Amino acid sequence: MRSVTITNHEGQHLIDRRTFLNFAAANTVATAIRPLETEQSKKQGMAKSATAFAFQQVDIFSSKPLFGNPLAVVIGADALRDDQMAAFASWTNLSETTFLLEPRSPAADYRVRIFNPEREVPFAGHPTLGSCHVWLATGGSGQRQEIVQECGLGLIHIRRGPERLSFAAPKLVRSGPVEPEILARVVRGLDLALDAITASNWVDNGSGWLAIMLRSSEEVLALRPNYSTLAGLKVGAFAAFNPLKDGTSAQFEVRGFSAEAAVGHEDPV
């Protein structure tokens, strides 16, 4: 079990990772973290920094607390090194952790770096919305309808509506048909018959996803992924709603399975 120093108005104390994540989930905001001491900093003989970095853990894509995609957002993280960001993202063990920075582009309002527990990624959807929400909540200029985020994929334009944020999806970095050998692994990993997939395509805008279309929402809901077989892949599965059977509350049933990290997981959205 790893520990991290948390600073609050009562002083400093150490709590283990599980206790901390329970605290963060229950309270949404944890006040501050101290940079993790990495192997690189040990080799350089660096003492722990006295600088604290505020961060928030937020819930994306859900109007009900603890039912969306969780995201950790570190605020004002310009002084953190790459290895410190990666270490903290690995420690949170969330699908993504982001770091808010001063922009480099004069056209951007802020810059964000996005890490999953394994590596940095140039772009991802719920980290974009969550990071923008935290930037606004911590003093970002929110008078304009459009906010510009700078990330590894370039400039992302985010629209601020009366109740929610939305963004213009960046261009795909990979598209086209899924290779037969990869599709065969998806079939095995989801325990499907090959003819159950009616269409497939790469839909990678920086996060590495491919998508498959199935014949019915029941088939999507029945999927039981084998993450060992899917290792290294991120697979989105969807099917159109049948209004007579599924109702009209939505148009598609969608599930997402990520086996990119050491332990696979299903995205809650």
The set of catalytic residues is 96
- Ranges of H-type helices in the chain: 17-27, 39-43, 82-92, 125-137, 180-189, 217-221, 243-246
Q: Residue 84 carries which side chain, given as an amino acid letter?
A: Q
How far is 237 from 125, CA to CA, in rounded Å? Answer: 17
Taken in order 121, 133, 61, 176, the sign of the CA dihedral is: negative
Q: Which residue has the tokens 């148009």?
A: 251
Query: At CB < 8 A and 24+ separation, what contacts does 141-148 make?
Result: 141/109, 147/109, 148/107, 148/108, 148/109
How far is 182 from 34, CA to CA, in rounded Å? Answer: 42
State the SS3 of 32-91: EECCCCCHHHHHCCCCCCCCCEEEEEEEECCCCCCCCEEEEEECCCCCCCHHHHHHHHHH
Q: What is the DSSP letter of 164?
A: -
Nearest to residue 73, comparing CAs of 84, 87, 88, 52?
88
Q: Are strands 120-121 and 69-74 parallel, antiparallel or unpaired?
A: unpaired
Instruction: Let me know: does 157 contact 168? Beta carbons within 8 Å.
Output: yes
